[in-house]
Amino acid sequence: MVAASSERIGFIGLGFMGHGMAKNIVEKGYPLTFLGRKNRKSAEDMLARGAREAATSREVAEQSTIVFLCVTDSREVEAIVRGPDGLKDGLKPGSLVVDCSTSDPVSTMALAADLATIGVEMVDAPLSRTPKEAWEGMLDTMVGASDKTFARLKPVLETWAGRVVHIGGTGDGHRMKLLNNFISLGYAAIYAEALALAQKVGISPTRFDSVIRGGRMDCGFYQTFMRWTLEGDREAHKFSMANGLKDLTYLESMADAAGIANPLGNAAKNAFAGVVAMGGGKEHIPMLATHIGKLNGVDLSPETGGTERPKA
């Protein structure tokens, strides 16, 4: 399908999520320029699909009317926008920068003010779901933008998102994303601790799952989380512990700025902080259960996690 639009798309961040997003933008007929990367697999795939590669963020900006960012954190976004040969050096008035990362709303608002001085609007459109849905074009996104800009951007968002929610103005997308991740990462911390306690008192993960799955406490996140402990599936939820800690740290900052106590958010943050401090930052979220198990003297590794512990 050829896009009936004059928009030219730039894309920076062909990682787990970004590769699928960029692939869908091209497949739906939009011309796309992406920033080259050391990991050549996704870059070569995009070139084969007809995308163009750029050497600098500035070059991406010069070739684009809308630039999507899908990177690790606010520091990286700031460097891409403001750094040497950055987006700000090549953007034209009327262009959009769309940050799909999970970023600090304070940083987002500062960048929005900075880009406004050159006639460029900052939009936040963070993501929910997994790389599988990114590849299928079925991600969720929560968008912070003016009504006019949202209307302009929505057809492009719909190339890679099955659910597009206009949550409010600039910054509101990132605020909502932190709340969303507070819930999901809080679930992860609860699931991990519950599994450790269950194993300690003689209830295996398999028996635990037989009660939760299909009941009122079941959900999509629970199902992907449990695939590591029950099946040893490392690809079930490709989101790192380090990113989880980063997101909960941003949540803490947002709560501090709002003047609200955030004890549950801090408890979840500390669960991830402990794993990262022990060198587990690159492991995926479902592996939290294995680490919490170790801290409590029980084995929740997939090889043994489904077995019964003899009752005393």
252: helix, coil or strand? Answer: helix
Q: Which residue in 23, 88, 177, 269 is the catalytic one? A: 177
Residue in the structure block whose two tokens are 């740290």: 249
Long-range contacts of 74-80 (CB under 8 A, 24+ apart): 74/101, 74/103, 74/104, 74/107, 74/108, 74/250, 76/101, 77/101, 77/103, 77/107, 77/111, 78/107, 78/111, 80/12
Comparing CA positions, the residue from 141, 142, 124, 125 lying closest to residue 133 is 141
67: helix, coil or strand? Answer: strand
Q: At what angle do helices 241-258 and 105-116 cross, to 10 degrees?
A: 80
Query: Is 177 an active-site residue?
Result: yes
The residues with which 35 forms a beta bridge, in sequence order, are 54
Pairing mode, if any, of strands 139-144 and 127-128?
antiparallel
Q: Distance between CA atoms of 159 and 139, rounded to whole angstroms?
A: 10
Comparing CA positions, the residue from 165, 135, 139, 136 lying closest to residue 150 is 165
Contact 292, 198 (CB under 8 A): no
Catalytic residues, which ones?
177
